[in-house]
Amino acid sequence: MSVLQQRPDVSEFRRRFKWLALFQLLCFGVLVGRLFQLQLLQAEDYQAIARENIVRRVTLATTRGIIRDRFGRPLSASRPAYNLYVTPKRVTKVDKEGQPPVMTPVWARLVSYLNLGDEEVGRLQQKLVAIVAEGGKRKDQQILLKEDISFDDVAVLSTHAHELPGVDVVDVSVRFYPQKSVGAHALGYMREVDPEMLAEMRRQGYVEGDHVGASGIERSWESYLRGTRGWEKVIVDARGARRPMRPGIIDGPSRVDPIPGRDLRLSLDADVQAAIERAMRGELAGGAALVDVESGQILGLVSKPGYDPNQLSGGSGKGVVRDAFQRMFSDQLKPALDKTVSGAYPPGSTWKPFTALAALEKGLIDKNVRTVCRGYLTFGKRVFKCTQAHGSCDLHRAIAASCNVYFYQLVASYGVTMDMIAEVGGRYGFGRRTGIGINAEASGRMPTKAWMTLRNKGQFRQGYTVNAAIGQGATTVTVLQLALAYAALANGGTLYQPQIVQAVETAGGDVVQEFQPRVRRKTNLDPKFRTLVHQALLSGVTEIGGTAYQTWRQLGVDVAGKTGTAQVSHKATGSADLERVYYFNRDHAWFAGYAPTTKPEVAVVVLIEHGGGGSKHAAPVALNIVRAWEDLKRKRAGERPRELEVTP
Amino acid sequence: MMRGGLAGRPRDHFDWPLFIAAALIAVLGVVNLYSATSVYIGTSRAALAEIYINQVYWLAIGGVAGAVVAAIDYRHIERFAYVIYTLGVFSLIVVAVLARDVRGAARWINIGSFSFQPSEFMKLCLVIAVAKYLHDDPRSEPRTLKDMAIPAVLVAVPAALVVRQPDLGTAIIMTLVFGAIVVLTRMRRSSVLIFVVSMAVILPVAWQYALPYQRARLTSFLNPTADLSGIGYHAHHARVAIGNGGLLGQGFTQGMQNQYRFLPDQYSDFPFPVFAEEWGFVGSMVLIGLYAFLVLWSVRIAARARDRFGAVLAVGCGAVIFWHAIFNLGMAAGVLPVVGITLPLFSYGGSSVTTVLLAVALLMNVSMRRNATFSPVERL
């Protein structure tokens, strides 16, 4: 071959090489231009993105404030709990394409370390396999396997952590109520925020999985208790693994410490709470309050039936929470309702002192006015009954022995009107919320003539007033209202606002804010009348013929008070369960009083729902509460607790 | 001139610039691979940390194979061109039949623990076959589309097999390499016009038949910030790594995007972002300069080739390197969609490295046997 022969061959290409080269140069030129843009012009932007990529802001948990009783004993605190998570993909494997995934030896080890039951293992295994088979993102995410595992399990798992890849133990804080159900309604419980609440609450910094006070003090004082989260910036890689800090990555602060929630010091006395629970243990449902008469501070506030806020607050897992809620809301005795604050009941005979005050203040009667009780009074076409034929009664005996006819006569013969009763009731705080500030407070009902007229299609009958005189009919009160009203009778006419939170404190124990007693109003109680009422209340307990005398004889406590038996409107008669019909048609039993009698310190009110007669069912509970309170007082004063003495 | 007379010549003509450019890229490639895989998690390096050693072995194997290929006069290769081509197509068919699924695409043939990817070598087989056809078909008149039908079929068969794997990237490279060769030939203007118009019709239709993931990549390229955690993840983090490099880079093994594992496939499809992040704009310019030199030098070799086969072979081999480099760098820099195309001598992989070294060897072969009577510099 010669060179000359080849030239025509190649000549077809010859002029095109330079176009090819030019095109290639152009392509490289575009690349260079692009790199110039990325690496020189936009370098700062991308450097910022690269830094942001590896910086994560992790939130630092805060601790919820502790709720303590008046002596500093914790009623509601937080404890660490450990939740077990597994990553489904890491404990399963796919042996053959198209076959369902099977569990790895890691899973078998985990099961044996935790001593799980076969049934539970089967259920969990099914769940994990389903998640992996589904194939979505969830198989790579941690799945909550078991909540609140024991310390022993935590220890075993952390010892063997290296042979359990994909298994993680995460510690969380769980609300803990060391006294269990004692004071549950006042304290309240916690619940996990649900998506609907979150829509509102996200602005205040709540996130998924947070717990928030659901009732009681936990709810009302949420903003004080919850504290503020902190955050810290850390370095992570693309898969979220923590890496050591690099200088120059984070501008500005890298950490804001969390602020723990405020602690609350309550006026409640854990011992009194426990004593009330003990005194009420024989009763199914009801409420009791013990209030300091000179300040309105609540020493004890118990509603029955109770519940264990530990179960509701999520410590033992979501299943337990669900079951507990189901139990709580299917129970006909309504354990969720705070019967001291949210329930309004007719006061029955405990109302009589206030009717008496209405008559005395208007000068319609004096202490010597007497009526004769034959066991009933016919008024208009109706017959109004009394508990027995009391014979001749003055005011003192009418209150002590609880004669209804005397009070019927105040309306029928002495001119006591509905509005007079309502006026006195209003002064003692009835018909209005007390302002305790926890739970959904009922205002009760203090009917006036106008109100009754409206309610009854424009007709007002004097019979309504006759009923109202003995605390029946439309009048309803709450346990707390009655306790504060009796406290006002006891202290000579000062109606206090109830107080349950005494002070807000820092986690370190410094007082941030202390709450002073607040007077709602003066009731203009004439000392003469106070003495009259007081002596009648004292006789009701300590004299033969007094409605609480039989109980007092056994317990012998220094207390003055009034029993009450409030008729209930008949309901639930259609039920086939006769026992239930019987129970729900029984009267409410009341006792309201104060102690000690010479210089009253506490007012006590007990309501036994459908308990029957006040003297038989409420008085023993109330007197036991006062007795326990007396014992505590002695003990704290350093005196020996007295021996049980039986008065003849 | 007698063939015997050339016996002593090739050594004199040893193409040092070609060799040095390729060697420099290979060295940078291994160094970069070391850095790309030395991601520290705790105190231990990542699982792939030792693959740069393998890359050295592949370079050695490819180097030896290249030396053999460079030593044999390419006219012997010309003689067996269609045999080589047939073998290549056959191996692609074997892959299609075996279809062992490796990462969603059947591209490998496993022989024991050793697996190779016929589609890589096929690019060179293709170039050889087309070179042979054009060598045997000299024209003085402009060609028509019909004249190019046979070489087009030569390309279409393996491209179709590769698309079915599915490996759209390699098929695109094959087509574009063929395109580069076609540019060399003199075509009739009307033929060019017909071709352009028909492409304008065919491409939208082809789009309808593209696989969903292939479409998604293209649409995500057109709208790069739409889905950063999904389909746009690779492109986004590659771009961030490059930009993070700045002028001078962050230093060897100090690239944040790589060290914090934001670059997936940092050893296979995305070695350039690692390099660009560590060496900055300056380093990138050096690397792009080397590739540009290699590619332009291959055009120079073609221009000085002794015959049509040599010229087409050189242009084809140069085009393989050119398109690989442009596509890989382009997708890393976000000017081209993400299609899995390797960066010559930078990406890890035996088939890829060997193929590129064989391409360089073929260039060397053509260069060493050039016709000294032409003055190439004047021509370019």
pLDDT tens-digit series, residues B223-232: 666 556 566 7
How much is the pLDDT for B377?
A: 45
**B309 located within any domain:** yes
How much is the pLDDT for A642?
A: 61
- Count of beta carbons in the 10 Å neighbourhood of residue A57: 12
pLDDT tens-digit series, residues B145-182: 888 899 999 999 999 998 887 788 899 999 999 999 99
Domain around B34: 27-379
* Range of lowest pLDDT (A184-193, A247-256, A613-622, B294-303): A247-256
At B99, is the pLDDT very low, low, confident or very high (cuts 50, 70, 90)?
Answer: low
pLDDT tens-digit series, residues A47-87: 988 888 888 887 788 889 999 999 999 999 988 888 888 88
**B6 located within any domain:** no
Candidates B184, B261, B285; nearest CB to A20: B184
Q: φ, ψ for residue A81 (rounded to 5)?
A: -130, 155
What CA–CA distance (Å, rounded) separates A636 from A631? Answer: 9
> Which chain A residues are within 8 Å of B371, Cβ to Cβ?
3, 6
Asked if A236 lies within 8 A of B260 by C-beta distance, the reply is yes
The average pLDDT across A5-15 equals 64
Asked if A20 lies within 8 A of B281 by C-beta distance, the reply is no
> Which chain B residues are within 8 Å of A239, Cβ to Cβ?
261
The count of domains in chain B is 1
**B22 located within any domain:** no
Asked if A13 lies within 8 A of B291 by C-beta distance, the reply is no
Buried b / exposed e over A477-493, threshold 16 CB at 10 Å, is bbbbbbbbbbbbbbbeb
Q: φ, ψ for residue A290 (rounded to 5)?
A: -125, 120
- Residues B278 and B250 sit within 8 Å (Cβ to Cβ): yes
How much is the pLDDT for A574?
A: 64
For B112, residues 6+ apart whose C-beta sits below 8 A from its C-beta are: none
> Which chain B residues are within 8 Å of A28, Cβ to Cβ?
288, 291-292, 295, 326
The residue among A532, A549, A531 whose CA lies nearest residue A540 is A549
Asked if A6 lies within 8 A of B307 by C-beta distance, the reply is yes
> What distance in Å separates residue B57's CA from the closest CA in chain A?
30
DSSP string for A77-122: EEEEEEEEEE-HHHHEE-SSTTSPPEE-HHHHHHHHHHT--HHHHH
How much is the pLDDT for A407?
A: 94
- Residues A145 and A85 sit within 8 Å (Cβ to Cβ): yes
pLDDT tens-digit series, residues A536-575: 999 999 988 888 898 898 888 899 999 999 988 766 566 6
A104 is written with which tokens?
């790895």
How much is the pLDDT for B6?
A: 44
What CA–CA distance (Å, rounded) separates A376 from A386? Answer: 5
Give, for A331, the enclosing helix (H) or strand (E): none
How much is the pLDDT for A84?
A: 85
Angle at B342 between CA B336 and CA B348, to 5 degrees: 145
**B9 located within any domain:** no
What CA–CA distance (Å, rounded) separates A479 from A301? Answer: 9
User: CB-hemisphere CA count at 13 Å for A648?
Assistant: 0
**B93 located within any domain:** yes
**B15 located within any domain:** no
How much is the pLDDT for A362?
A: 92
Asked if A35 lies within 8 A of B138 by C-beta distance, the reply is no
The residue among A332, A357, A355, A369 whose CA lies nearest residue A404 is A355
What CA–CA distance (Å, rounded) separates B234 from A79? Answer: 45
What CA–CA distance (Å, rounded) separates A244 from A171? Answer: 23
What CA–CA distance (Å, rounded) separates B294 from B22? Answer: 7
For A215, residues 6+ apart whose C-beta sits below 8 A from its C-beta are: A185, A188, A189, A336, A338, A439
At B127, is the pLDDT very low, low, confident or very high (cuts 50, 70, 90)?
Answer: very high
pLDDT tens-digit series, residues A361-387: 999 998 899 999 999 999 888 899 998
Closest alpha carbon within chain B to A42 = B243
Would you mind telling me the total number of residues written for chain B in this entry? 380
Select, from the ranges A14-18, A160-164, A250-254, the one with the highest average predicted confidence (pLDDT).
Answer: A14-18
SS3 B156: helix
> Which chain A residues are within 8 Å of B373, Cβ to Cβ?
3
Candidates A12, A36, A235; nearest CB to B185: A12
How much is the pLDDT for B230?
A: 60
Residue the block writes with tokens 């290249």: B66
Asked if B239 lies within 8 A of A238 by C-beta distance, the reply is no
**B33 located within any domain:** yes
A332 is written with which tokens?
């006909």
The residue among A433, A406, A418, A426 whose CA lies nearest residue A488 is A426
Q: At what angle do helices A418-427 and A462-469 cross, to 10 degrees?
A: 40
CATH of domain A270-331+338-636: 3.40.710.10
Closest alpha carbon within chain B to A239 = B261
The average pLDDT across B74-98 equals 90
Is the per-residue pLDDT at A529 higher than 80?
yes
Burial (CB count within 10 angstroms: exposed 0-12, middle 13-18, buried 19+), residue A459: exposed
A328 is written with which tokens?
């709580």
> What distance in Å separates residue B65's CA from the closest CA in chain A?
28
What CA–CA distance (Å, rounded) separates A473 from A147? Answer: 51
